[in-house]
Amino acid sequence: MRPVLPHTPLVVLLVVGLMTSAMASRAIADGGKVQWSGIVDGRRYTVFTSPTPLQPGMVDISVLIQNESDGRVMRDATLSVRCQDRQSERVVEGRASQANSTNRLLQSAKLDLPVAGQWEIEICDLGAKPSSGPLVSFVVMVADQRFSIPWTAALVTAPLWFIAIYLLRERIRR
């Protein structure tokens, strides 16, 4: 007896691929693109942002702090992250901590950047003297959200769906 659907693996692969690509847009992870790295007061600070490219909405700003001399990860700092839109002067602030991070080496802040444009990011050590100012300051570009990954995945896989439906129809005709 012949299988009802000879192309079942193809159909299953298409469904799983579509579901996976739709869920991938919702994932946000520690790490991402290195936006800044440098040495301040005997410590190397490396700042990562995710998603790449940055888009309006939830972003992850993660900081890795290492001892300059031996590269050992420093976990004793209490950091704040301040983002300011250069056009509207809107400010978004948060605290970076290991509790927000899935990677124990990083301290992360999850922030909601509401608009596209140039944003100045400042990382401050809350344990330092108030007059010391930010440890790290740099500018990033938050791009307009031109496309949605689920919709893009749907458009890319649409021809495959038509092929799968055609093959199914041909199989039923026999």
**Which pLDDT score is estimated for 29?**
44
Is the distance from CB of 88 to CB of 113 less than 8 angstroms? no
Q: How far apart are CA 171 and CA 127, in angstroms?
A: 70
Using alpha carbons only, how large is the chain's radius of gyration in Å? 23
pLDDT in tens, the chain (174 residues): 455 555 566 566 556 555 555 444 444 445 689 999 999 989 999 999 999 889 899 999 999 999 999 999 988 788 999 999 999 999 999 999 888 888 889 999 999 999 999 999 999 988 776 667 788 899 999 988 766 667 777 778 888 888 888 888 888 887
Query: Are the CB atoms for 166 and 148 separated by under 8 Å?
Result: no
Of 96, 92, 106, which Cα lies nearest the Cα of 140?
92
Fold adopted by 33-147: Immunoglobulin-like (2.60.40)
CB atoms within 10 A of CB 168: 17
Give the list of residues 6+ apart from residue 56 with CB closer than 8 angstroms, or none: 113, 114, 115, 116, 142, 144, 145
Structure tokens at 5: 């659907």
> Residue 64's pLDDT is what?
94
